[in-house]
Every structure is written in C-alpha cells, then in structure tokens.
C-alpha cells in the first residue's frame, strides 16, 4: 500500500531512525499495519547485545509511533506537512525478543481523536506472536508550511 519512498514523503524520519519499511494496510481513518524488516546491520545491534542481539524495546515502541504518525497525518490530510509528536505511553509490555532476521508487523488502531490529539492501541508481532503492546498518545505539531523532502 505504501513503499519506503511514499513513507518518506509522509513522515520526516530518516536513517538510522526510520523504523518502518512499508505499510501493507491502511483504512485512512482508524487502522494501519506497517512492516519493519529487522536486519543484522541495524546500528543498535552493535551494543544491544553483541552476543545475543535483540531490538531495544524503546525502538519497537518508536516503530509503532512512526506508523501511528502516518495514520494521524493521513487522517488530517497533512501528509508531508507538520509533525506528529509522541506525548505519552501507557501499558507498554514486551512479550518476546525481536532478533535479526525477524519481520516486525506493526498494527495500530486509532481509539480516540479529539482535533489534533490522538490515542492509539499498538501491537507488534513477529510470526503472529505478540512481541510488544502499548497505548500511545500523540498530537499534531504546528504546521510550519515546510514539506517533508
């Protein structure tokens, strides 16, 4: 549904902090599913942990937040303009490690919206097994008129 080039037109994140490779489902209003292919070349694996590399939980949450950002900008028809700021997290739980070679499926459901304020339920899966879950809050930042390049 969205490849990496389109994702980069919607959100401002770039390597090494762009943590979503494609979007495979999006109903434009309430649900979105993204994919992160976790490779052995990820810079965080150099120190987390060299003997048994696992993706840091905070980066799984960040990947979920980036997919939520795409849905929020599409909902408000602000793709490529303004920024969505992560404002809170509740109930984060990490169920299993995410390792090099895994494909992370990032599922977000918009559970509340009031103007430019959003609340999402996020779940991250590897091979249909729940790896992480949380509730995220976010808000649209002031539109500076600058578009994502």
CA of residue 115 relative to chain centroid, distance: 21
Q: How confident is the model at residue 148 (pLDDT cuts 50, 70, 90)?
A: very low
- The three-class DSSP label of residue 59 is helix
pLDDT, residue 82, reads 72
CB 73 within 8 A of CB 108: no
pLDDT, residue 65, reads 98
Return d(Cα 93, Cα 11) in angstroms, integer: 26
Is residue 8 predicted with pLDDT exceeding 90? Answer: yes
pLDDT, residue 20, reads 99
User: Is 13 noted as a catalytic residue in this protein?
Assistant: no
- By CB neighbour count within 10 A (0-12 exposed, 13-18 middle, 19+ buried), where does 99 fall? middle
Better pLDDT: 56 or 147: 56
Residue 103 has φ and ψ, to the nearest 5°, of -110, 120
Walk me through the domains of the chain, giving residue ranges and CATH numbers.
4-140 (3.10.129.10)
pLDDT, residue 10, reads 92
pLDDT, residue 70, reads 95
Q: Which residues contact 106 (CB under 8 A, 6 or more apart)?
A: 20, 33, 34, 35, 36, 63, 64, 67, 122, 123, 124
pLDDT, residue 75, reads 87
pLDDT in tens, 70-116: 999 988 887 767 789 999 999 999 999 999 999 999 999 999 999 99
Q: What is the pTM of this model?
A: 0.93
CB 26 within 8 A of CB 70: yes
Marked catalytic residue, from 8, 22, 48, 99: 48
pLDDT in tens, 104-146: 999 999 999 999 999 999 999 999 999 999 999 999 987 555 4
pLDDT, residue 77, reads 84
pLDDT in tens, 35-62: 999 999 999 999 999 999 999 999 999 9
């Amino acid at each position: 549904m969205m490849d990496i080039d389109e994702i980069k037109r919607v959100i401002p994140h770039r390597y090494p902090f762009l943590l979503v490779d494609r979007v495979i489902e999006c109903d434009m209003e309430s649900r979105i599913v993204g994919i992160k292919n976790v490779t052995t070349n990820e810079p965080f694996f150099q120190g987390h942990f060299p003997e048994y590399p696992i993706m840091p939980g905070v980066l799984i949450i960040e990947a979920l937040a980036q997919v939520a950002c795409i849905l929020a900008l599409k909902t408000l028809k602000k793709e490529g303009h303004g920024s969505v700021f992560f404002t809170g997290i509740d109930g984060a739980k990490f169920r299993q490690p995410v390792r090099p070679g895994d494909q992370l499926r990032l599922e977000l459901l918009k559970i509340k919206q009031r103007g430019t304020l959003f609340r999402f339920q996020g779940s991250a899966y590897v091979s249909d097994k729940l790896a992480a879950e949380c509730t995220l809050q976010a808000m649209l930042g002031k539109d500076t008129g600058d578009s994502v390049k």
